[in-house]
């Protein structure tokens, strides 16, 4: 069986692996739909219409994609450096907390919003930097530290929304006060939640693409990720690579946190992010770690999620469907990694 | 059929893309014989034993083990017949003791340690081995690990041991004790397939030898028929002798010198002990020694990858002690590392690999922006210089063959008129023709650079070097001029039979 599959892989050109992975996960999810007495063709048709085919749907899709683009592009930098940053979720929380400091600890000024973005950028970045420092100087595995620091960030958020920053008018609900108007990220389209962070997200994707493929720093990150020994051989400053890639990775997730805070919720709550930092891992790999593709992957995935979300209500799909689909897609993409390894072995 | 025949292979053919590894090979292993498989690198020795051991299914041909025709190829089947392969690099659990490692090889969950210990001790005594069953494997030498592997196989009921180039990782002393071990195995009634590319080992050890050349069986000789001349003739298509590349060039100023350099010996590194050497422009200095005697550390110190704890490194008059490797490169240093994969990123294109050291220099980048056009022109030149076979410079470099990778590194390192070249095993893994090309290329380079060649092969050093120094356990001998070299003394120093201090 394995042999036949390997032969099939060898016979196919490598660009088809990704489409096959996606189609495969759609088929598997389709089986689950059939078991639930739903017609998968109709469901998928409905998803595409809802997610991409209407003004409301498309703008909602773009809105959902903002944190995924930012965190996903950030993660793609770390993954290119072969650093397993699992901490985008925590870095996103810290970004929001950084923005919260400007919003709740200082009196408002006309440039508060800009300050919130800068603080979000720095807080997310530093949250990524700590695992990098621990790895560089104490050889601590970054998978463990980034993952664990997610919980620290989430609980700092809990501490703040239950304590120091709690809105006294919410009668005990864990909310912070709504932001004043001049600290809210402007919305771009009438009747939609699409906020200006989308421009930052698109700009960041292009900028990180240029950084990775056109500059010496990006080259160093890719060399280190491809073969640390070769980086040593070349005399690349490994400390710089580790710190820069993890800082940027965290900082972009931090911006995503600011966007969710000041663009969508306009206040901080417990369970502030819907796991965007974890979904972004999937998005980064779906986009083959290329920032431009990551952006496209984030938008397509968001469309699917928005469509599925709407269907949950209209045709009564279980709430967990989205996570189910996410899991199936991740497995399919990991299988694609296997296919590429098989291919590489025989080239 | 002769009862004495344990393994019979008829017309084995194995084809890989671009190469026929075994072409109609016949092979017979008799009971209780030490059968040598002789051939150069790439002659098809490993492929043949991989077929016998069931790792590789042949494209055609038949294999009989103890008279049974083998249809299902797998090491499990081979092991059922009592065939065991001793890996070159041991796959033992380093942190466990010898006895525990032997126990691991046994089937089942229940273990009677006492009975096993007694059994192993009997075996060890019969084979006249000295081996502490309670020492941890990580404290053993490479040779001892090989013997532990062999005992593991014996405990599992081995009748045939296959050893793939066991001596290539051993010092001459360890080789000597391996040979007496193998002879004792023979007395116990075992058969051994012994792979090597060294004539002398075959002459010394083997009862019969099968010579392979370019995948073909060139003949099987008995002990009486073996002569050095005959084997050489079968092994090589043409008679080769040690030919010197004696294009003498004027020796210039000292370009690289290490003064009393010592390094720490922790973390798997062999410490260098008070090493001094000078290399002049126009000369090739060879550092010869058995692997693992500190030559890699020496190379890494000389390029700035390891910082010495005492001593100084002077390049072209400037003290570079403690500076980063990049400073060394800026002084015109080229470095061909022991493992060429350390100097390549397999998932990047040829172009991206070509600028690995140059990307920071003017012309290749400005204000942190890489100039890919220049990089591509430069890569095309590298590819053309050493005739590297590749469909394009934009493909990932992992699509190149091993020989082409080696040539790529060589071409890259030698392309910028380096003043110092540090080459570690530049011909490793290359066939004879490519080796000759590489050595010729290095010999040509010496007219305007000083070259440090690190090799395990004394003959290779004699071919190309002006002076050689022997390295043994982190100590370096005095330079010996090649013209009046005491070959025997050099060999004895390499094996530790004569200590470096005595010789100096």
The rounded distance, in Å, linking the Cα atoms of A224 and A237 is: 10
The rounded distance, in Å, linking the Cα atoms of A104 and B365 is: 45
Ramachandran sector of residue B161 (left: φ over 0; alpha: ψ -120 to 50; beta: rest): beta
For B64, other C-beta atoms within 10 Å of its C-beta total 16
Confidence check on the interface: ipTM exceeds 0.90, yes or no: no
pLDDT digits (tens, 9 = 90+) for B62-89: 999 998 999 889 999 999 999 999 877 7
pLDDT digits (tens, 9 = 90+) for A131-182: 999 999 999 999 999 999 999 999 999 999 998 999 888 777 889 999 999 9
Kind and range of the H or E run holding B277: strand B275-280
The rounded distance, in Å, linking the Cα atoms of B458 and A149 is: 56
pLDDT digits (tens, 9 = 90+) for B219-236: 999 999 988 778 877 876
What is the average pLDDT across B137-163?
89
Q: Tell which wins on pLDDT, B46 or B109.
A: B46
Kind and range of the H or E run holding B184: helix B172-187
Two tokens, residue B64: 């009989």
A240/B contact by beta carbon, under 8 A: no
**Nearest Cβ partner for B329 among A215, A232, A235:** A235
A135/B contact by beta carbon, under 8 A: no
Average pLDDT, rounded, for chain B: 86
Interface test mutation site (partner A, options B74, B356, B422, B424, max chain A beta carbons within 10 A): B356
The rounded distance, in Å, linking the Cα atoms of B163 and B178 is: 11
Contact check, Cβ <8 Å, A216/B343: no
Kind and range of the H or E run holding B383: helix B372-385
Do B34 and B207 touch, CB atoms closer than 8 A?
yes
The owner of tokens 């893994």 is B429
Q: Residue B347: list chain A partners with CB under 8 A.
A: 226
The rounded distance, in Å, linking the Cα atoms of B305 and B357 is: 14
Tell me the shortest Cα–Cα distance from B344 to chain A, in angstroms: 6
B473 burial (CB, 10 Å; 0-12 / 13-18 / 19+) is middle
The rounded distance, in Å, linking the Cα atoms of B7 and B30 is: 7
Model confidence at B268: pLDDT above 70: no
What is the average pLDDT across B242-265?
77
Q: Is the dihedral of CA B58, B64, B70, B73 positive or negative?
A: negative
For residue A176, the 8-state DSSP code is P
What would you report as the CA-atom Rg of chain B, rounded to the nearest whole angstrom? 25
**Nearest Cβ partner for B359 among A216, A227, A229:** A216
Interface test mutation site (partner A, options B57, B370, B391, max chain A beta carbons within 10 A): B370
Interface test mutation site (partner B, options A80, A212, A216, max chain B beta carbons within 10 A): A216
pLDDT digits (tens, 9 = 90+) for B379-426: 999 998 888 888 889 988 988 877 788 889 989 998 888 999 999 988
Interface test mutation site (partner B, options A213, A221, A227, max chain B beta carbons within 10 A): A227
The rounded distance, in Å, linking the Cα atoms of B381 and B388 is: 10
Contact check, Cβ <8 Å, B369/A216: yes
Instruction: Mark which residues 198-227 of A lie under 8 Å from B by CB.
Output: 214-217, 219, 222-223, 226-227
The rounded distance, in Å, linking the Cα atoms of B50 and B195 is: 12
Counted across chains A and B, CB pairs separated by less than 8 A come out at 66
Determine what percent of chain B is predicted with pLDDT higher than 70: 93
- B443 CB-near residues (< 8 Å, 6+ apart): B245, B247, B284, B464
**Nearest Cβ partner for A219 among B325, B347, B370:** B370
Contact check, Cβ <8 Å, B365/A216: yes
**Nearest Cβ partner for B345 among A216, A227, A235:** A227
Q: Residue B344: list chain A partners with CB under 8 A.
A: 227, 230
Contact check, Cβ <8 Å, A226/B345: yes
**Nearest Cβ partner for A227 among B344, B357, B360:** B344
Bridge partners of residue B7, in order along the sequence: B29, B65
Contact check, Cβ <8 Å, A227/B329: no
Note the Cα B222 to chain centre separation in Å: 28
What is the average pLDDT across B174-181?
88
**In this predicted structure, what is the pLDDT of residue A193?**
93
The owner of tokens 């006895």 is B99
Q: Residue B346: list chain A partners with CB under 8 A.
A: 226-227
Kind and range of the H or E run holding B31: none
Do A97 and A218 touch, CB atoms closer than 8 A?
no
Instruction: Please report which confidence band the pLDDT of residue B239 belongs to, taking 50, 70 and 90 as the band edges.
Output: very low
**In this predicted structure, what is the pLDDT of residue B496?**
67
Contact check, Cβ <8 Å, B348/A235: no
**In this predicted structure, what is the pLDDT of residue B236?**
66
> What stretches in chain A show pLDDT beneath 50?
347
The owner of tokens 């065939």 is B83
Model confidence at B492: pLDDT above 80: no
**In this predicted structure, what is the pLDDT of residue B426?**
85
What is the bridge-based pairing of β-strands B450-455 and B420-424?
A: parallel
Q: What is the pTM of this model?
A: 0.76
The owner of tokens 């001793």 is B86
**In this predicted structure, what is the pLDDT of residue B240?**
44
Ramachandran sector of residue B164 (left: φ over 0; alpha: ψ -120 to 50; beta: rest): beta
Two tokens, residue B135: 């020492």
Do B474 and B273 touch, CB atoms closer than 8 A?
yes
Tell me the shortest Cα–Cα distance from A230 to chain B, in angstroms: 5
- A138 CB-near residues (< 8 Å, 6+ apart): none
The rounded distance, in Å, linking the Cα atoms of A261 and B408 is: 52
Tell me the shortest Cα–Cα distance from A102 to chain B, in angstroms: 34
**In this predicted structure, what is the pLDDT of residue B241?**
45
Tell me the shortest Cα–Cα distance from B369 to chain A, in angstroms: 4
Model confidence at B41: pLDDT above 80: no
The rounded distance, in Å, linking the Cα atoms of A338 and A340 is: 5
A235/B contact by beta carbon, under 8 A: yes
Do A88 and A278 touch, CB atoms closer than 8 A?
yes
Contact check, Cβ <8 Å, A227/B359: no
The rounded distance, in Å, linking the Cα atoms of B246 and B265 is: 37
């Amino acid at each position: 069986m394995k042999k036949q599959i390997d032969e099939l892989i060898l016979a196919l050109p490598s660009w088809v692996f990704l489409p096959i992975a996606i189609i495969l996960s759609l088929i598997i999810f389709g089986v689950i739909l059939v078991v639930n007495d739903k017609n998968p063709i109709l469901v998928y048709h409905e998803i595409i219409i809802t997610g991409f085919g209407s003004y409301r749907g498309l703008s909602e899709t773009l809105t959902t994609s903002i944190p995924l683009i930012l965190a996903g592009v950030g993660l793609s930098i770390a993954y290119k450096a072969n650093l397993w940053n699992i901490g985008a979720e925590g870095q996103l929380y810290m970004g929001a907390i950084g923005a919260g400091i400007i919003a709740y600890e200082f009196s408002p000024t006309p440039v508060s919003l800009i300050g919130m973005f800068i603080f979000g950028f720095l807080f997310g970045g530093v949250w990524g930097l700590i695992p990098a420092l621990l790895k560089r100087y104490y050889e601590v595995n970054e998978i463990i530290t980034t993952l664990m620091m997610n919980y620290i960030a989430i609980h700092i958020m809990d501490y703040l929304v239950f304590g120091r920053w709690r809105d006294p008018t919410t009668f005990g609900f864990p909310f912070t006060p709504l932001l004043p108007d001049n600290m809210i990220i402007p919305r771009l389209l009438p009747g939609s939640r699409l906020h200006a962070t989308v421009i930052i997200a698109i700009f960041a994707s292009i900028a990180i693409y240029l950084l990775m493929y056109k500059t010496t720093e990006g080259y160093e990150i890719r060399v280190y990720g491809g073969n640390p020994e070769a980086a040593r051989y070349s005399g690349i400053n490994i400390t710089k690579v580790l710190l820069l890639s993890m800082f940027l990775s965290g900082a972009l997730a931090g911006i995503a946190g600011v966007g969710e805070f000041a663009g969508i919720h306009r206040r901080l709550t417990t369970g502030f992010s819907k796991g965007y930092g974890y979904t972004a891992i999937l998005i980064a790999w779906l986009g083959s770690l290329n920032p431009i593709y990551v952006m496209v992957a984030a938008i397509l995935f968001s469309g699917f999620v928005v469509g599925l979300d709407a269907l949950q209500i209209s045709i009564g799909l279980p709430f967990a469907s989205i996570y189910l689909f996410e899991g199936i897609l991740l497995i399919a993409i990991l299988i694609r990694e296997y296919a590429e390894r098989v291919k590489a072995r025989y080239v | 059929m002769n009862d004495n025949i344990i393994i019979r292979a008829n017309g084995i053919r194995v084809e890989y893309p671009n190469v026929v590894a075994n072409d109609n090979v016949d092979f017979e292993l008799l009971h209780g014989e030490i059968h040598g498989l002789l051939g150069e690198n790439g002659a098809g020795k490993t492929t043949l034993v991989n077929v016998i051991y069931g790792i590789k299914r042949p494209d055609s041909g038949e294999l009989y083990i103890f008279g049974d025709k083998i249809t299902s190829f797998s090491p499990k089947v081979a092991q059922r017949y009592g065939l065991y392969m001793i890996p070159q690099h041991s796959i033992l659990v380093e942190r466990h003791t010898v006895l525990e490692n032997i126990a691991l090889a046994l089937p089942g969950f229940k273990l009677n340690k006492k009975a096993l210990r007694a059994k192993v001790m009997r075996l060890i005594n019969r084979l006249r081995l000295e081996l502490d069953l309670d020492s941890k494997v990580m404290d053993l030498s490479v040779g001892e690990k090989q013997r532990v592997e062999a005992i593991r196989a014996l405990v599992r009921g081995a009748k045939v041991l296959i050893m793939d180039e066991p001596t290539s990782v051993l010092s001459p002393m360890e080789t000597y004790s391996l040979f007496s071990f193998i002879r004792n195995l023979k007395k116990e009634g075992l058969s051994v397939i012994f792979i090597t590319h060294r004539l002398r080992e075959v002459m010394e050890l083997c009862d019969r030898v099968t010579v392979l050349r370019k995948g073909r069986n060139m003949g099987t000789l008995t002990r009486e028929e073996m002569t050095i001349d005959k084997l050489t003739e079968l092994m090589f298509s043409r008679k080769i002798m040690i030919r010197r590349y004696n294009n003498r060039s004027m020796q210039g100023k000292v370009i690289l010198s290490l003064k009393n350099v010592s390094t720490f010996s922790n973390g798997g590194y062999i410490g260098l002990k008070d090493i001094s050497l000078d290399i002049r422009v126009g000369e090739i200095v060879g550092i010869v020694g058995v692997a693992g005697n500190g030559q890699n550390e020496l190379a890494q110190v000389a390029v700035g990858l390891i910082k010495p704890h005492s001593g100084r490194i002077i390049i072209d008059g400037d003290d570079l002690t403690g500076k980063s490797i990049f400073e060394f490169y800026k002084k015109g240093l080229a470095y061909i590392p022991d493992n060429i994969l350390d100097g390549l990123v397999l998932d990047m294109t040829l172009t991206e690999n070509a600028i690995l050291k140059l990307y920071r220099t003017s012309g290749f980048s400005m204000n942190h922006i890489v100039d890919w056009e220049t990089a591509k022109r430069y890569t095309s030149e590298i590819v053309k210089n050493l005739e590297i076979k590749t469909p394009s410079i934009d493909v990932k470099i992992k699509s190149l063959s091993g020989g082409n990778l080696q040539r790529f590194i060589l071409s890259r390192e030698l392309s910028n008129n380096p003043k110092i070249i540090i080459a570690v095993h530049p011909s490793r893994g290359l066939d004879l023709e490519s080796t000759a090309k590489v050595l010729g290329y290095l010999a040509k380079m010496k007219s305007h650079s000083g070259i440090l060649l690190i090799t395990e092969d004394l003959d290779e050093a004699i071919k190309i070097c002006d002076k050689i120094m022997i390295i043994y356990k982190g100590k370096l001998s005095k330079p010996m001029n090649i013209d009046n070299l005491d070959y025997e003394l050099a060999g004895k120093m390499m094996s530790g039979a004569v200590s470096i201090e005595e010789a100096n």
